Amino acid sequence: MKLVVKRCLDLGFASLFLLAVSPLLVLVALLIAATMGRPVLFRQERPGLRGEPFRLAKFRTMTDLRDDSGDLLPDGNRLTALGRFLRATSLDELPTLWNVVRGEMSLVGPRPLLMRYLERYSPEQARRHEVRPGITGWAQVNGRNELSWEEKFELDVWYVDHQSLGLDLAILAKTLRTVLRREGISARGQATAEEFKGTAR
């Protein structure tokens, strides 16, 4: 029953919010097309519930600039001024609401990371995939990218063990405050989050 209520909340809120912000979606898409060209959306395969892959959609924030060898430049060199603004305000996340409508994600849950991280998790860290990934989560309102990977995963697993409607509503309220204060947008000394290379054992 708890999962049914959570899914109804996800579907209802995400659908209504997508409708409400549709003019903003169009505006952001036009700005990205004008400054970075197409595509305006960044799509990438991410692990969902039980690690099953799905296609995540976000607004594009970086160019495809490459070095002489054809390799992509570091994130800091490719992140545009518009991209920094979109990340700072979390507007780049708006298309992810469509993943929620489709049932691939939830409003609240552990963030969907990279497919290649799956083999790097400890068995305990891998428990973060026992629930659907979320647009926001317990780690995001308790430090976001200022936390170490190990701290994030501990918070993710804590959420898996304690999830409830009340907790989800509290996380959504705290998310609004975090976004308005622009807290923990990137890891210290990094343009984006540092790559997770595994936990030393």
Query: Beta strand pairing status for 41-47 and 53-59?
Result: antiparallel
| Among 32, 38, 19, residue whose Cα is nearest residue 61 | 32
Is the pLDDT reported for residue 99 higher than 80?
yes
- Does residue 12 or residue 76 have the better pLDDT? 12
- Total-model pTM: 0.86
pLDDT at position 177, please? 81
pLDDT confidence band for 184 (50 / 70 / 90): low
Is the pLDDT reported for residue 192 higher than 80?
no
Give the integer Cα–Cα distance in Å for 195 and 10. 29
Alpha-helix residue ranges (DSSP H) falling in 37-110 = 75-78, 81-89, 96-101
| Lowest pLDDT segment from 46-55, 84-93, 184-193 | 184-193
pLDDT at position 129, please? 97
The type of residue at 35 is: T
Q: Are 154 and 137 in contact (CB under 8 A)?
A: no
| Lookup result for tokens 């992140």 | 79
Rounded to 5 degrees, φ, ψ at 59 are: -70, 140
- Does residue 47 or residue 3 have the better pLDDT? 47
Is the pLDDT reported for residue 193 higher than 90?
no
Mean pLDDT of 47-67: 91
Query: Beta strand pairing status for 53-59 and 106-108?
Result: unpaired
Give the integer Cα–Cα distance in Å for 25 and 97. 11
pLDDT tens track for 104-142: 999 999 999 999 999 999 999 999 999 999 999 999 998
Mean pLDDT of the chain: 88
The type of residue at 72 is: L
Q: For residue 128, what is the DSSP state?
A: G
| Among 4, 9, 61, residue whose Cα is nearest residue 36 | 61
Give the integer Cα–Cα distance in Å for 134 and 128. 11
Is the pLDDT reported for residue 41 higher than 70?
yes
pLDDT at position 79, please? 87
